[in-house]
Structure 1
Amino acid sequence: MQEAAADDEVVLGRKALNRIVGRFLALHDRRLARIRATLTHEQRSFFDLLPLLWHVNHPMLPGFVSTETPAGVVNFRPNREQVLLARRYVRGFKEEKRPHRDTPVVGLYLMGSMGSLGQTSGSDLDFWLCHDSAVDDEGRELLRRKAARLEERANEIGLHAHFFLMHAESFRDGVVEQLSKESSGHTQHTLLLEEFYRTGLMLAGSPLLWWAVPPEHEHEYTAYTRRLIQRRFVRADQWLDFGGLHALPADEFFGVAHWQLFKGIDAPYKSLLKLMLLEAYAAEYPKIDWLCLETKRAVYSGEDIAPDDLDPYLLILDRITRYLS
């Protein structure tokens, strides 16, 4: 009976979903503008060209490895500025239209402190390069090689960039690579996902299916998204699904705390913030009110949002302050 009742619940329609996605992207645009404002002209040009570099393979463009490297970003059409940037390398560059089935890159996202109050001159650009299931081991290796070349190019112009290959289905199954110097791999699955949902910025590709789940339905993420798909309000192949924020295993607290103590050697203040946030989460265990849900609740409220009100690091400070008071 409970399952039947759940299936009868009203889910968001297409128009409402479009509004929600638009509000998330508006927040992203504000942070992306802040990032661009801190970059030099050369750095900004590289940053703005990145979606196109994953969309096409051309021997004259930065990062080129092979014409066999998987290329093509879902829903991506280069704008005029990106075409002009590409023409600095390839005279007469023109976009080639691709069918949807020929777009193995399903999302390019930037996560972390960039564009937030926590950004510093030494902040890393941590990109999630999300690919579909059609990319085999050989294709992944070619993507890694292209990523390495783009990281080298970024380093030449004073940027610390890292690209991490992500496959959403594998992530949902608990398969997580060593993602960055800030993460400890599989021991941070849930907390890593929370940080991604809180700080991730969409540069190109598919929107996150997590956006389509109202905050009050977070606890039934799988059932709710299944209803959205069954009622054809969303198409599964047009959204990026890393899964919901489920209960946090107790051992993940210990793994993350140990990692942050290690990271504190190089970044003591950032590690202290994350340790205090972890303590605040532990105090709420097992029913944790994730920080990213504060952002989602604000987006779903429909009210005007001041850019800094939902700053990822300000949210951390506010949560710690409430916990300690």
Structure 2
Amino acid sequence: MSRRPRVPSFPAASRIPRWLALLLTAALFSQPLAAGEAFDWLDRMSAAIHDLNYRGTFVYQHNGKLEAMYIVHRGGEDSRQRLFALSGAAREVVRDQEGVTCILSDSKAVMVDRSLPRGPFAALPRDLEQLNRYYRFSLGGTDRVLERHSRVVVVEPRDDYRYGYRFWLDREHALPLRSALVTAAGRPLEQMMFTQLEVLEQVDDAALRPELGGEHFTRFEGPGPDTEEEVPAAAGSDWEFTWLPAGFELRGHNWHGMPVSGQRVEHWVYGDGLATVSVYIETYDETSPPGLQGLSNMGAVNAMGRTLDGHHVTVVGEVPAETVERLAMGVRRND
């Protein structure tokens, strides 16, 4: 992994009007039902994203920018996906079971990452009900996108330490025709919307081969299985985290070398099933390249860096700034 920017009571009343009591009672009984229906739609969405064959173009708004992308996806056991930028510098991203390959025409670079970062759609856990303590799930009505009828699914965080989602799901296939990543207050941070979409019977190999690349491109390999040393769950560490958001559990812990310097960095991944944060700790002295100090932001991604006891700590994730700041300031060396 590369070094990060060194680069979420009603007042008591003796009498309640009968109509209000009936309304409140209906709301109490309808919430679990609405959540269950929302789970059904999200389960269908996850299956559609993985299993269906499709191609189309979509616009992606993030960090004050608007990009147009072409996507072709082959579903099933041999799932494979190719993204091609239709605006700005020519770029391609190919995802398969081995990882992700990014081809950048402006820098003549091919970057290979075996860690399988997320694609353009939110990755949802299989057991959505486990998230009920940290998010509210509901249906938000109907809409039309691409002249297709869609069902809106709303995912709202129960605190300010994680983001929420809105999904406009195609009624026929449950593919996300539009989606938005939003703050706890509902402000959009990132949005995606298809401008053209076609569900296919099959996708040929030729449609998934990258068009960019060649002998003048330089290949960079990110950390892979051979360069990562997984830390056993029972193994100790020199570091502890005195604060984590409710529901965030350890998802991964390993040591690996930095791609350029080869310096060893200890890496933790924490998440609640939707949101994730990564923590990197490495040795740091006056000869080290300057590291991130304080908060940094790029769209929905926030990062926090600090030095501590001869080490540099970086916390980064698609979570609010307060989350990475509190987590970074809560890192302590074990006694």
TM bucket, shorter chain: under 0.3
The structure with higher relative contact order (CA 8 Å, sep 6+) is 1
TM-score (norm 2): 0.24
Larger radius of gyration: 2
Q: Which has the higher strand share?
A: 2
TM-score (norm 1): 0.24
